[in-house]
Structure 1
Amino acid sequence: MDKLFGTNGVRGVFSEDFTLEFVHDLVLAISTYFKEGRILVGYDGRDSSVVVSKLVCSTLNYAGLDCHLAGLIPTPCLEFATKALGYNGGIMITASHNPPEYNGIKPVASDGVEVSREDEKVIEDIFFKKNWKHNSSTWGSTKNDDRAVQTYLDGIKSQVDVSKIKSRKLKVVLDLGNGAQSVTAIKLCEQLECEIITINREIDGSFSGRGPEPTPYNLQELSSAVVKNNANLGIAFDGDGDRSIFCDNKGMLLSGDKSALLLSNYLLKKNPNSKVVTCMNSGNSIDEIVTQTNSTVIRTKVGSIEVSRKMITENALLGFEENGGFMFGKHNHVRDGGMTLALLLELLASSNKSMSEELATLPPSFTTKDKISCKKEDADKIISKLLAEFPSADTTDGIKIIFDKKNWVMVRPSGTEPIIRIYAESDSEKNLETLMKEYTQKIKSFLDR
């Protein structure tokens, strides 16, 4: 094994492959990469996160680095506070949307963005060669830092028209998913004088309400609550609060692509001649949106780090993933569920239309995705078989089979779980269903052989 990092950080099943010994060695490697402190440490609500945070802080101190503990906060809060409060780096303890038995670590650079793929390789090289700091002559210290939450909320509010949002008294349903956004999203809505209805509010390491990943299959309670309470919108967060799935005023759940189109259309009109970065598995309707404002789209491999780091080099205004990760460059070049919520509240406060009416003005977009349990070696075989059938397909990231501009299928192994993901876009709901069914069956037939 010569690789630790997946699509997003280092993750594993706590006490199995993500052991305390492994965490200790990994943090020694990260400490050596950082060279010096202060390092800000935060964690999500998983049952193992508190003990992991104690080990992370003590290992940083053993390596001679000072660290400050921000406590239980969302990932984008840790990232923004790392930048805004002048830390040399950050470490977020989270496994994001993975099942409860998982945990993980995301190292964050001083610019508030997860370290680059190149820097991940540096950390991996230090780890596998055990070329890390030993027995520092001066041990570091650990202190608490309770500034992160309000620093983060103030940062979000500085990017939107607060008085306009307050004047509308918008009604919002928050499905907090028993996750870390319970710490910040409620306060954000209160400070924006919204009326709030909450679901799955209690932080719970087992994510007993609906699980840590918001999907169309587990958000029916959110949809019903929006309709029942005549709310302006609903929003569901993932376990560490960096991704958000929206529900319009009629209870319709939006894909990440659809909410990104809505926000991009609004923000690009305010900021023409801008750049938008998104992944290869996002739909093509964004290409129609950008042409209206003389803006451009740049595509990357799948993964928030790929998008974030490309946003920085391109000085892009916006970035997004199809999974509900939306990035606003003026705030921070990372996906941020809280910032995304505030932007959509501003959009609605600035409009005389409801959210469903705003969505009706967008170009049609029909995208979907699914996943199949699959070992890494089987995923490689599936992609090889598809490539043999479609030799001209794009293999930049998994395999993307493009039939025409509006019809394609993409298959890639997950970088965080033993599954293979299937993405598709088509020119109608019916054709999308047919396309997805055909390729799901094809992949399952490969696995059965």
Structure 2
Amino acid sequence: MAKIFGTNGVRGVFGEDLTLDFISKITLSIASFFKKGPILVGYDGRESSVLISKIVTASLSSAGLDSVVCGIVPTPCLQFATRQLGYNGGIMITASHNPPQYNGMKVIARDGIEISREDELKVEEFYFTKKWQISDKFGLITKESKAVSTYISGIKNRVNVRKIKSRNLRVVLDLGNGAQAVTAPILCKDLGCETILINEKIDGTFPGRGSEPTPQNLDKLSDMVVKSKSDFGIAFDGDGDRSIFCDESGKILTGDRSALLLSKYILKKYPKSKIVTSVNSTSVIEKIAENSESKVLRTRVGSVEVSRKMIKENAIIGFEENGGFMYGKHNQVRDGSMTMVILLDLLAASKNSLSEEMNSLPPSFTTKGKIECSTNDFKKIVKILKAESCEKDLTDGIKLSLDDSSWVMVRLSGTEPIARIYAESSSQSKLDDIFAKYLQKVKTALDR
């Protein structure tokens, strides 16, 4: 198992886990893995990001690799530009949804997707053996000005721009003081949408509602959608690769439910396709896929697993329950703006409101929670849950299938010292009972 890389890249508290010395050495390790440049470097709006970018580019230069800096951009923008503009790789400086004191790095392969788990181990081998690439010639450090325009054009090429423009849709964007402030408002304007902005100022302390959009912190978005009579609202996370929707009535939609709607829409156009999703996502996707003779493939939790499986299987759709949706026609990565524009395309082609479209889906109710937990504590949880008399899936943590429509899953987080608990059922009351029951079992295991 990787010692430095977590579920999504390398993360830590800046100045503590993520020291200047560590950043330099892990960058030298990344340079040794890539062997040659140019490497595209971008970052989110965190207060430490600019400083880290200078260390990253200087370290790449010392290894003889050219680097090109595109400044503040969403992660999916850097990923798409890495591939489209012909870079040998990319480094995105971000801690995604983590609190402001964190930062990190996502390493992007030349195909525009995070490097595989196997390649992460190769980078770590360079780090621990200190066998870094040495060059007697410094690499150049220059600027890239086309990343944003390339990304925006790529998204617009995947939808019916004329149809969307004809609808004059009204959208509330909760940009979360994050990196999508650079791109999402431009996209909406280009598509003829009337936009209302919330938390639009990029600020690495995330003063508006925090860096992660959750049902608990999106009241302002919900109220603004209703007040402005908008068609929908959308909230992005800190680095803009995930998005959470709000329908016209102010109801916040889970990542799972919105992914079902988008999948249903895409599969009507492209039947007999493949969908990749993680083991903790809704089981209703199998029903949606069956209607179009499509196939669902499951992976461990983490966008890297989903993305790399999409490439291997030539899948058109990938998603996670946290609002990370991937459209293979554009790029096999989570992309908040691409997800937003697919919904615009859907509504432009429909006579229904977003809530009416959502009501057409099979019923399902999901929830999730977390609890402080160490690796040793997690072993206690698994031991207790293994004793349950039901079907078990050990792909990632432990998942118990309780009946045809109900399951509960517990896994150790790859980004924080916590265990995450997920559950799904066919009714809210049944879900509440299941979640309460198994949360208590987890707490009992930790008390032993």
Aligned equivalents of 1:292, 1:210: Cα separation in 2: 39
Q: Which runs of 5 or more structure 2 residues have no equivalent in the other structure?
A: none
Aligned equivalents of 2:94, 2:418: Cα separation in 1: 19
Aligned equivalents of 1:59, 1:253: Cα separation in 2: 43
Partner of 2:213: 214
Classify the secondary structure of the residue corresponding to 1:97: coil
> What is the CA distance between 1:384 and its match in structure 2?
2.6
Partner of 2:156: 157
CA offset digits 1:87-123 (Å, max 9, x no partner): 0000000000111111000100000000001101111
Cα pair 1:412 1:422 within 8 Å, conserved: yes
What amino acid is the match of 2:325?
F
Cα pair 2:12 2:104 within 8 Å, conserved: yes
Classify the secondary structure of the residue corresponding to 1:404: coil
> What is the CA distance between 1:392 and its match in structure 2?
5.3
Cα pair 1:24 1:56 within 8 Å, conserved: yes
Partner of 2:70: 70
Partner of 1:394: 393
CA shift in 2, pair 1:391/1:19, >3 Å: farther
Partner of 2:106: 106
What amino acid is the match of 2:357?
E
Classify the secondary structure of the residue corresponding to 1:393: strand
Partner of 1:54: 54
Partner of 2:44: 44
Aligned equivalents of 1:367, 1:101: Cα separation in 2: 30
CA offset digits 1:44-73 (Å, max 9, x no partner): 011110000000000000000001000000
Aligned equivalents of 2:390, 2:189: Cα separation in 1: 54
CA shift in 2, pair 1:391/1:295, >3 Å: closer
What amino acid is the match of 1:129?
T
Aligned equivalents of 1:105, 1:336: Cα separation in 2: 17
What amino acid is the match of 1:428?
S
Partner of 1:366: 365
Aligned equivalents of 1:392, 1:350: Cα separation in 2: 41
Cα pair 2:408 2:422 within 8 Å, conserved: yes
Q: CA RMSD in A?
A: 1.1
Cα pair 1:390 1:401 within 8 Å, conserved: no
> What is the CA distance between 1:394 and its match in structure 2?
1.5
Asked if 1:429 corresponds to 2:425, the answer is no
The runs of 4+ residues in structure 1 deviating greater than 6 Å are none
Report the TM-score when normalising by structure 2.
0.98
Aligned equivalents of 1:264, 1:442: Cα separation in 2: 34
What amino acid is the match of 2:385?
L
Moved more, 375-384 or 213-222: 375-384
Moved more, 285-294 or 79-88: 285-294
What amino acid is the match of 2:437?
E
Partner of 2:19: 19
Cα pair 1:284 1:405 within 8 Å, conserved: no
> What is the CA distance between 1:377 and its match in structure 2?
2.6
Aligned residues: 448
Classify the secondary structure of the residue corresponding to 1:197: strand
Aligned equivalents of 2:6, 2:248: Cα separation in 1: 36
Report the TM-score when normalising by structure 1.
0.98
Partner of 1:79: 79
Matches within 5 A, 1:317-356: 317-356=316-355
Aligned equivalents of 1:282, 1:143: Cα separation in 2: 41
Aligned equivalents of 1:287, 1:313: Cα separation in 2: 20
What amino acid is the match of 1:121?
L
Q: Which runs of 5 or more structure 1 residues have no equivalent in the other structure?
A: none
Matches within 5 A, 1:12-411: 12-134=12-134, 136-389=135-388, 393-411=392-410
What amino acid is the match of 1:116?
S
Instruction: State percent identity of aligned pairs.
Output: 61
Cα pair 2:24 2:55 within 8 Å, conserved: yes
Aligned equivalents of 1:98, 1:297: Cα separation in 2: 30
Aligned equivalents of 2:280, 2:332: Cα separation in 1: 19
Aligned equivalents of 1:391, 1:290: Cα separation in 2: 25
Aligned equivalents of 1:238, 1:439: Cα separation in 2: 29
What amino acid is the match of 1:100?
P
CA offset digits 1:346-374 (Å, max 9, x no partner): 00000000001111111111111111122
Classify the secondary structure of the residue corresponding to 2:266: helix
What amino acid is the match of 1:314?
E
Aligned equivalents of 1:444, 1:18: Cα separation in 2: 31
Aligned equivalents of 2:30, 2:400: Cα separation in 1: 38
Aligned equivalents of 2:106, 2:383: Cα separation in 1: 31
